[in-house]
Structure 1
Amino acid sequence: MSAASETGPFFHGTKADLGVGDLLTAGFRSNYRPEVVMNHIYFTALPDGAGLAAELAAGDGEPRVYEVEPTGSFEDDPNVTDQKFPGNPTRSYRSSEPLRIVGEVHDWTRLTPEALAAWHERLAVIRAERGEIIN
């Protein structure tokens, strides 16, 4: 499925405490390469994918998953499509336009402490190898 045919619902994971109607915008540091300020806001059509992003997000807050709606056009996330996975199996997207919070999702799957540690180890390897983020 490509961005052109995806209708949602869509989800975004973060540690920020947000409310319905709030807007998520680009221009913040990457959770995966903190020295990079992102030109896009990222989201997915998979609640558990957003949950993974929430678990890995920077900050000390509680991981949260929000249902969001794009306020403008969006495209497949090139960081996980075609270069790394054929097509878009993660149903991940990005937009330079804001995303509007339409509600919080509570029934997403949390990572075990072991799985979270494994993801942090993977990210450390990526950072050490200077894996490029397509921004």
Structure 2
Amino acid sequence: MENKNVELNKTDVLDNGPFYHGTKADLHIGDLLTAGYRSNYKPEVIMNHIYFTALGPTVAGLAAALANGDGHERIYIVEPTGSFENDPNVTDKKFPGNPTRSYRSQAPLKVVGEVTDWVRLTPEEVHQWREKIANIKGEIIN
């Protein structure tokens, strides 16, 4: 019998970009986003990777809304400067495949542009997302 549960290898990258990163940091073209900051979802965890998506402003906008800090929500268009892999926090270990087209890298991401026009979440939607995330069981795969 054929195994229908095909797992993606972490080197099976599904996208060539463009890629997006949501944050509250005020950055400029040419700046680098790096790993080593606290997780937006579990602040006791220092992240070994920088995360990004190819799904566009929908996913990156959610990340920006949930990001730490007091700045304005921003979505940057980014280019990986090194190798990257499917984000295991939302891929095979939790969801089949990579439905959010999310990736991570230990190498910096270079800011190459900014998306300035996207539909932002309402405060109520942000609150609902924070509650959902607080109720998620399991550890961050770092």
Say whether the fold is shared (TM-score over 0.5). Answer: yes
Say if 2:34 is the partner of 1:31: no
Q: Name the Cα RMSD after superposition.
A: 1.5
8 Å CA contact 1:67–1:102 kept in 2: the answer is yes
Determine if contact 1:13/1:50 at 8 Å carries over to the other structure: yes
Partner of 1:85: 95
Distance in 1 between residues matched to 2:67 and 2:90, nearest whole Å:
17
Runs of 4+ that moved beyond 6 A: none
Report deviation, 1:122. 1.3
TM-score by length of 2: 0.88
The structure 1 residue matched to 2:117, chosen from 92, 107, 114, is 107
Question: Which amino acid in 2 is paired with 1:133?
Answer: I
Unaligned residue ranges in structure 2 (runs of 5+): 1-7
Larger radius of gyration: 2
**Structure number with higher helix proportion:** 1
Return the TM-score normalized by structure 1.
0.92
User: Could you tell me which of 22, 25, 32 is aligned with 1:13?
Assistant: 22
**Count of paired positions:** 132
Q: % of aligned pairs identical?
A: 71
* 3-state secondary structure, aligned to 1:48: helix
Matched, 1:123 2:137: no
Match of 1:85, SS? coil
Gaps of 5+ in 1: none
CA distance in 1, matches of 2:130, 2:99: 22
